Amino acid sequence: MQLNKVSVDDINVKGKKVLVRCDFNVPLKDGVITNDNRITAALPTIKKLIADGGKVILCSHLGKPKNGPEEKFSLAPVAVRLSELLGQDVVFANDDEVVGENAKKAVAEMKDGDVVLLQNTRFRKEETKNLEPFSSELASLADVFVMDAFGSAHRAHCSTVGVTDHIKDTAVGYLMQKEINYLGNAVETPVRPFVAILGGAKVADKLNVISNLLEKCDTLIIGGGMAYTFLKAQGKEVGLSLVDDTKIDYCKEMMAKAEKLGKKLLLPIDTTIAAGFPDPIDAEIEVKVVDSDKIPADMEGLDIGTKTQELFADAVKSAKTVVWNGPMGVFENPTLAKGTIAVAKALADTDATTIIGGGDSAAAVIQLGFADKMSHISTGGGASLEYLEGKVLPGIAAIADK
C-alpha cells in the first residue's frame, strides 16, 4: 500500500479554479464553533493554493442533515472563522442546493488568491450516495480538485470521489499527504520493532484491524473493553465486564494466529474493577485492582491495572514505531483514566514514531495534554481504522498517482 499520490506541491494552479474538499465537520453549540482544530488543520493547504495564485473554492460536510438543508448545519460560522484565520475575506456562497446562483456568481467574480466556501455538501441528498447530477455540478465550478479531508476518505461521496470523474487534474493536500505518510507507510513499511496498541469497547469494531496488524506488527497490545472477550476466551472469569460472546472463537483464533506467526500478544494481567459503570460517566466511583483471573462474578472491569500499565509501557520502550487506536478504560472518568494516561505517557516518553489513530484515542491524548509529544495524530476515526485494516480508501484511490 505504498502510496505515491500527486500532491499540491506537484501542481500549477495559477489562475485556475481549485475545488478543495476539506473536513470542516466542527462541533457547534448555538451556532458557535467550540473547537476549530479541523479548520486550522486545513490552513496549510489553503494558504499554499492562495500563495500560488489559485482561485480557491472550499467544500465540506457538517453534521448529518437528514432531510436536506437545515440552518443548524450551515457552514456560515466556518466562513467567519476562516476569514479570521486567513486574514482575508472568505465569500460564503449560501445556496441550499450548494451549487446555486450564489456559488456560480461568487466563483465567476473570483480573482487569483480569492477564497469561496460552498454550503454544506450534505444539503444535497445525492452527496452520500455519490449520484449525479451533484458530482458534475460541483466539478463544473473548477479546473483542479484537491482532496484534503482524510476523515471522509473512507466514504465514496460526490465531493470525495464523484467529482474526480469530471475533473482530470487531482491532488492530495498536505493533511492527506501526512496521513498517507504516517498511517499508510508506518503500517506497510514500519521501522521495527513495531508495536500496535488496540483498545476501545468492542472487539467487533476491530476484527479486521486485529487480524491485519498481527501480520504487520511485532507486538500487539490489547486493552479496553475488548480485552475481556480475549480474557474469557482464555477461560478466565470476567464477572460483569463487557464481553462479546459471539466473538470468543474469533479471539481464540487470533491468539493462535499470534503464536503461529511468532508475534507477542499482550493482554491485561490485572484490572481495575467496580460494582458497575459510573453514572454519570465522570461520577466518583469506588474501585480496586485485582489480577485479571480474579475478577469477582459481581464486579466489572473498567480499566487496566497498575501491573498492566507497567507491562504495556515496557513493551513501548524498545519500539521504533507505535500505532495506538482506542483507550484502555473509561477515560472520561478521572478514576478510570489511569490506564489510558499511562499508555499516553509511555508514548510521550519514547523516541519511537508514535501514531494515534483518530477517534477516542486522539481525543484522550489531546485532552490529557500529550498531543505535542506524538509524531502524528490522525484526523479520521473511521478512516484511520479502515486504513489500519489494510483497506483501500476510495477518497485516496480516486486521486492521481505520481
Q: Which residues are annotated as a binding site for (2R)-3-phosphoglycerate?
A: 38, 122, 155
Of 74, 69, 61, the C-alpha closest to 33 is 74
Cell of 89: 475575506
- Choosing from 223, 225, 359, 380, the catalytic residue is 359
Distance, in Å, from the CA atom of 22 to the CA atom of 49, rounded to the nearest integer, reads: 13
Q: Is the peptide bond before 193 cis (omega within 30 degrees of 0)?
A: yes
Beta bridge partners of residue 57, listed in sequence order: 19, 116
DSSP class per residue in 21-81:
E------EETTEES--HHHHHHHHHHHHHHHTT-EEEEE---S--SSS--GGG-SHHHHHH
Residue 261 domain-assigned (yes or no): yes
Q: Which residues are annotated as a binding site?
A: 23-25, 38, 61-64, 122, 155, 206, 301, 332, 358-361
Q: What are phi and psi of 244, to 5 degrees?
A: -105, 95
Per-residue pLDDT of the chain (402 residues; tens, 9 = 90+): 457 899 999 999 999 999 999 999 999 998 899 989 899 999 999 999 999 999 999 999 999 998 889 999 999 999 999 999 999 999 999 999 999 999 999 999 999 999 999 999 999 999 999 999 999 999 999 999 999 999 999 999 999 999 999 999 999 999 999 999 898 877 888 999 999 999 988 888 888 899 999 999 999 999 999 999 999 999 999 999 999 999 999 999 999 999 999 999 999 999 999 999 999 999 999 999 999 999 999 999 999 999 999 999 999 999 999 999 999 999 999 999 999 999 999 999 999 999 998 778 888 888 888 999 999 998 887 888 888 888 889 999 999 999
Whether 382 is a known active-site residue: answer: yes
- Choosing from 202, 263, 320, 391, the catalytic residue is 202
Residue 398 domain-assigned (yes or no): no
Pairing of strands 353-356, 144-147: unpaired
Burial class (CB in 10 A: 0-12, 13-18, 19+), 371: middle
Distance, in Å, from the CA atom of 291 to the CA atom of 35, rounded to the nearest integer, reads: 40
Residue 190 domain-assigned (yes or no): yes
Residue 400 domain-assigned (yes or no): no
Query: How are strands ordered across the β-sheet holding 270-274?
Result: 288-291, 270-274, 300-304
Question: Of 127, 153, 175, which one is at a domain's C-terminal end?
Answer: 175
Same domain, 237 and 376: yes
Residue with cell 492530495: 172
Same domain, 336 and 218: yes
- Choosing from 257, 382, 390, 391, the catalytic residue is 382
Cell of 198: 488496540
Same domain, 121 and 197: no
CATH of the domain at 257: 3.40.50.1260
Residue 2 domain-assigned (yes or no): no
Residue 394 domain-assigned (yes or no): no
Same domain, 65 and 193: no
Distance, in Å, from the CA atom of 313 to the CA atom of 324, rounded to the nearest integer, reads: 13
Same domain, 273 and 220: yes
Range of the domain at 200: 182-388
Residue 402 domain-assigned (yes or no): no
Same domain, 163 and 74: yes
Distance, in Å, from the CA atom of 385 to the CA atom of 388, rounded to the nearest integer, reads: 5
Same domain, 154 and 189: no
Cell of 62: 457538517
How far, rounded to the nearest angstrom, does the alpha carbon of residue 307 sit from its chain's CA centroid?
Answer: 30
Instruction: Tell me if residue 249 falls in helix, strand or coil.
Output: helix
Of 188, 224, 187, the C-alpha closest to 204 is 224
Same domain, 65 and 169: yes
Domain count across the chain: 2
Same domain, 193 and 166: no
Element (H, E) at 172: strand 169-172
Same domain, 15 and 163: yes
- Choosing from 16, 38, 48, 338, the catalytic residue is 38
Cell of 67: 432531510
Q: What's residue 382's pLDDT?
A: 82
Question: Of 143, 175, 207, which one is at a domain's C-terminal end?
Answer: 175
Distance, in Å, from the CA atom of 88 to the CA atom of 293, rounded to the nearest integer, reads: 61
Distance, in Å, from the CA atom of 246 to the CA atom of 161, rounded to the nearest integer, reads: 36
Beta bridge partners of residue 230, listed in sequence order: none
Whether 390 is a known active-site residue: answer: no
User: What pTM does this model have?
Assistant: 0.87
Same domain, 188 and 97: no
Same domain, 72 and 136: yes
Question: Of 160, 175, 190, which one is at a domain's C-terminal end?
Answer: 175
Whether 202 is a known active-site residue: answer: yes
Residue 399 domain-assigned (yes or no): no
